[in-house]
Structure 1
């Protein structure tokens, strides 16, 4: 029995033991069919064997998070131009069934990355996977782990990035028409995000599109001007919530 004046020593909480993974939300826009796409792969091992998921990997010893993100990109897709940034860290208890398996006894934390690639240039790599495919966003099935939640978060980030950054120009050709750009925005943001005439007038007023003075004919309409994105002219607008809406 403790004597008078003795103090009970508080038990120290058990610290979590983590494994760190990287999951990539890789988007592309099929402008020919007006579809926003996300890259999915099929898992070949438990847990969730045979289920679609986002391309991911556990971080290797001595490897940075960003290097792991680029590694999984390089293992699943060949592409020259891409945009990549860290998205969010998902680490809630129970997000991975292996946490409940006594043979593991660790928590699985996912640092997610958001990527945007040019659909026409992207070549999928099927080596070492039982399935890999571009899925239209509205047709994505129930994914392994909490990957539907990660995908939803990535989609919100993509929409926000289009509003205040030049990320759209990462997936357009070097020269493009205003109609091409408008189509990309409507594919990601929906048909009601802006009227084309207002969209066109606002873009030209902002002054970061360079008119190449070259025109292209498509169908029976009037020839359309080809533009190029001017990064230097865009610099004053960087990180300002201004853009096309």
Structure 2
């Protein structure tokens, strides 16, 4: 929650100015560390947003200053992530479908990041950076449906496609959850995936 103009009392994405001698990536990690406690964090540069008039302060500056935002997206395991509430600003999680009107062009940034994540799930093993070391196929399916929507694929086809790719390793361990039959725990086999890394793949 912004505590100053412009966009006083609007929600915004977390951001920071880059310090002297600091890389963009280090600045992104720093601001995340100030807002969230988490052990496993996947961070990737998204895009540079620099359209004219994206910040109202530009029109007030007589020197023609422009405000650029180099955006990153991060993936965390929600149940392991703890927001850091401080005395300066409110901070909150929002489901993607319930995000309000944000400050600046942050709704555009968020939408762009969501599209990028959808695309990455289709061709890369990024999902395994978020899942625990061992997981059920239903855990994996739930992650995909959370990002891609409920109708992206039925579970049977999803399961068959992922197992056919050959880099999910059955640990031989089963886990019981609820009234259903025990489910097998799998691991992502990085060595089995390595020869496929530079080949065009469709995960879903």
Partner of 1:39: none
SS in 1 for 2:68: strand
Partner of 2:14: 55
Instruction: Report the alpha carbon displacement of residue 236 of structure 1 after superposing the two structures with TM.
Output: 2.3
The CA RMSD measured in Å over matched residues stands at 1.4
1:163–1:241 CA contact under 8 A, matched in 2: no
2:124–2:201 CA contact under 8 A, matched in 1: no
Instruction: Give the Cα separation in 2 of the matches to 1:211 and 1:152.
Output: 35
Instruction: Report the alpha carbon displacement of residue 105 of structure 1 after superposing the two structures with TM.
Output: 4.1
Q: Find 1:147's aligned residue among 106, 113, 118.
A: 106
Within a 5 Å distance, the mapping from 1:200-239 to structure 2 comes to 200-239=159-198
SS in 1 for 2:131: coil
Instruction: Give the Cα separation in 2 of the matches to 1:159 and 1:240.
Output: 19
The higher radius of gyration belongs to: 1
For structure 1, list consecutive stretches of 5 or more residues without a partner in the other structure: 1-41
Give the TM-score normalised by structure 1.
0.80
1:91–1:108 CA contact under 8 A, matched in 2: yes
SS in 2 for 1:202: helix
Instruction: Report the alpha carbon displacement of residue 209 of structure 1 after superposing the two structures with TM.
Output: 0.8
SS in 1 for 2:178: coil
Instruction: Report the alpha carbon displacement of residue 241 of structure 1 after superposing the two structures with TM.
Output: 4.0
Within a 5 Å distance, the mapping from 1:1-245 to structure 2 comes to 42-102=1-61, 105-245=64-204
Instruction: Report the alpha carbon displacement of residue 190 of structure 1 after superposing the two structures with TM.
Output: 1.1
Give the TM-score normalised by structure 2.
0.95
Instruction: Report the alpha carbon displacement of residue 198 of structure 1 after superposing the two structures with TM.
Output: 1.2
Instruction: Report the alpha carbon displacement of residue 179 of structure 1 after superposing the two structures with TM.
Output: 0.8
Instruction: Report the alpha carbon displacement of residue 239 of structure 1 after superposing the two structures with TM.
Output: 4.7
SS in 2 for 1:133: coil
2:124–2:203 CA contact under 8 A, matched in 1: no
Q: Which has the higher helix share?
A: 2
Instruction: Give the Cα separation in 2 of the matches to 1:146 and 1:241.
Output: 33
Q: Greater RCO between the two (CA within 8 Å, min separation 6)? A: 1
SS in 2 for 1:187: helix
For structure 2, list consecutive stretches of 5 or more residues without a partner in the other structure: none
Q: Which has the higher strand share?
A: 1
Q: Deviations over 1:51-91 (max 9, x none)?
A: 10000011122211111111101110111101111100001
2:37–2:83 CA contact under 8 A, matched in 1: yes
Shifted more, 124-133 versus 112-121: the winner is 124-133
Instruction: Report the alpha carbon displacement of residue 120 of structure 1 after superposing the two structures with TM.
Output: 1.0
